[in-house]
Amino acid sequence: MQKTFDVAIEALAGAVATVEPGPPAGNHLAEALPRSPGARGVKSFYIETFGCQMNVHDSEKVAGLLLARGYRAALNPADADLMLYNTCSIREKAAQKVFSRLGEWRGEKRKIIGVLGCVAQQEGEEIFERAPWVRLVCGSASYRKLPALVDELEAGGRRVMGLDLRVEETFETEMTLRDNPVRAYITIIEGCDYSCSYCVVPRTRGPERSRASEAILLEARRLADTGYSEIQLLGQTVNSYRDPSSRKLTFVELLRAVASVEGIRRVRFTTSHPNDFHREIVDVIDSTPTLCEHIHLPVQSGSTRVLREMRRTYTREEYLEKVSWIRSARRAISVTTDIIVGFPGETEQDFEDTVTLLDQVGYDGVFSFIYSPRPNTTAASLTCAIAESEKSRRLGVLQERQRQIQLARNERLIGETLEVLVDGCHRTRGQWTGRPSSNRIVNFTSPRENLLGEYVQVQVTRAGPHSLIGEHAVSD
């Protein structure tokens, strides 16, 4: 089938439309939307997204939902009748950013300003007090109510809220607007049933609920039909998946089923919780080339004492045992992680344990964060806070050590040829960019044009800590 690498609107009801190609959307989803001039009377929307891939994908679904209701995408916030912020409150800075954005609309009367996502759920009615020009507040667990909320506003309602967290259903949309032309996301599990002491997610996204495997597979087949060949399965704890349908597929069975959808060449999944990470996951990656050679396995700390305080449900040794399964696989599976430094009471020795863990695991990438106390979390009431200057120092030490580790690991790949799915280009540098199965960033030159969405063989010629540099091996 002819591949279409235009931005796709995928109608889950069956009809599939592609729309004009747009630039990569980044946080501004609407940039990748249809550029048709607005017909008189047709309302338009603009969504700005903050935070993780889950939020990015939620925005794609909300955009699909609005398109299905007859809205069109505005080219910029000033032109939109409905301006939505899909927010993140995982760290304080992210939440503050949202309020500074909302401040730009102070006193706005013409358009509807709405706050979605984690800040909406966390702050609720407070948002109306801090920014009285906001008229819509809706947390992610209530997105299925969005059409009714928008109807209410259109019918003259002054303010509407959707903040119900006692949900059992997942957010199913009739239409999803995909703004990544190369990789398509599929949510398989929403919410979280863990209770990590630092984390707002269980309170902002609600309890864990999995989607039926049939719905996931139907979505994967439709994506393949529109030309997508790489799928990323999403969930806060993606490997805690439990099929609610009578088929009762396990996570591993679901991985195998998605990987066998015709036309799908790559399947990724994120984020895995170490507690639900079993040896079978490594085995299925080993035996299924379509499953990518990459596992994101957040550890948070290398100190068992801190892990206990964080309520992570595993010890350093248990985590390392899971990493040893990955290391003993036949395929060279890359491992990345998340780490928090400066958790209350983290001693110099605890921190040292985290630094030594970096060496012991040999991570291919680390997202490292300074601990940020969050409202209504149990860790927020711990009294032994670490000074900000010390947290920053520890972050610097950790990042420098990891930089050295990544450089050494990447240098080992010089001379190898990797299959790269091209997802962009740096015009000024004359380079293409893409990712191999391991999810590293590969920048490369090629004598060929129009490579976006192609799988190409790239020979690695140089390595940096954060990316590889190579040349297109043009025989393909």
List residues binding ligand SF4 (CB under 6 A).
Answer: 192, 194, 196, 199, 201-202, 236-237, 273
Min. distance of Cβ 379 from ligand SF4 in angstroms? 11
Q: Which structure tokens are listed for 127? A: 């948002």
Neighbours of 78 (CB within 10 A): 9
Min. distance of Cβ 238 from ligand SF4 in angstroms? 10
Q: Which one of ligand SF4, ligand SAM, none interacts with residue 418, CB within 5 to 8 A by kind? A: none
Amino acid at 172: E
Q: Which one of ligand SAM, ligand SF4, none interacts with residue 371, CB within 5 to 8 A by kind? A: ligand SAM
Min. distance of Cβ 388 from ligand SAM in angstroms? 13
φ, ψ of residue 393 in degrees (nearest 5): -60, -45
**What is the β-pairing status of strands 266-270 and 230-234?**
parallel
* Nearest of 376, 395, 377, 375 to residue 387 by alpha carbon: 395
Min. distance of Cβ 342 from ligand SF4 in angstroms? 16
Min. distance of Cβ 116 from ligand SF4 in angstroms? 18
Min. distance of Cβ 407 from ligand SAM in angstroms? 23
Min. distance of Cβ 80 from ligand SAM in angstroms? 28
Residue among 22 and 235 whose Cβ is closer to ligand SF4: 235
Q: Which one of ligand SAM, ligand SF4, none interacts with residue 372, CB within 5 to 8 A by kind? A: ligand SAM
Distance linking the first and last C-alpha atoms of the chain = 19
Residue among 47 and 118 whose Cβ is closer to ligand SAM: 118
* Dist. CA 82–CA 109, nearest whole Å: 11
Min. distance of Cβ 202 from ligand SF4 in angstroms? 5
Min. distance of Cβ 301 from ligand SAM in angstroms? 10
Which string of DSSP letters, residue by residue, matches 198-253? T--HHHHH-S-EEPPHHHHHHHHHHHHHHT--EEEEE-TTGGG----STT---HHH
Residue among 161 and 379 whose Cβ is closer to ligand SF4: 379
Residue among 192 and 422 whose Cβ is closer to ligand SF4: 192
Q: Which structure tokens are listed for 21? A: 């190609």
Residue among 143 and 228 whose Cβ is closer to ligand SF4: 143
Amino acid at 13: A
Beta bridge partners of 44: 72
Q: Which residue has the tokens 């903040």?
A: 163
Residue among 7 and 355 whose Cβ is closer to ligand SAM: 355
Residue among 97 and 256 whose Cβ is closer to ligand SAM: 97
Contact status, residue 373 vs residue 92, Cβ threshold 8 Å: yes
CA distances (Å), origin 15, targets 147, 178, 226, 324: 21, 15, 10, 46
Q: Which one of ligand SAM, ligand SF4, none interacts with residue 202, CB within 5 to 8 A by kind? A: ligand SF4
Question: Sign of the C-alpha dihedral, residues 466, 269, 412, 423?
Answer: negative
Q: Which one of ligand SAM, ligand SF4, none interacts with residue 374, CB within 5 to 8 A by kind? A: ligand SAM
Neighbours of 116 (CB within 10 A): 26
φ, ψ of residue 353 in degrees (nearest 5): -60, -35
Neighbours of 271 (CB within 10 A): 20
Residue among 171 and 228 whose Cβ is closer to ligand SF4: 171
Residue among 91 and 394 whose Cβ is closer to ligand SAM: 91
Q: Which one of ligand SF4, ligand SAM, none interacts with residue 337, CB within 5 to 8 A by kind? A: none
CA distances (Å), origin 299, targets 133, 233, 311, 338, 400: 41, 20, 12, 6, 18
Q: Which one of ligand SF4, ligand SAM, none interacts with residue 52, CB within 5 to 8 A by kind? A: ligand SAM
Residue among 45 and 198 whose Cβ is closer to ligand SAM: 198
* Residue numbers at the binding site for ligand SAM (CB under 6 A): 52, 90-91, 198-199, 201, 236-237, 271, 273, 298, 300, 338, 340, 369, 371-372, 374
Min. distance of Cβ 300 from ligand SF4 in angstroms? 7
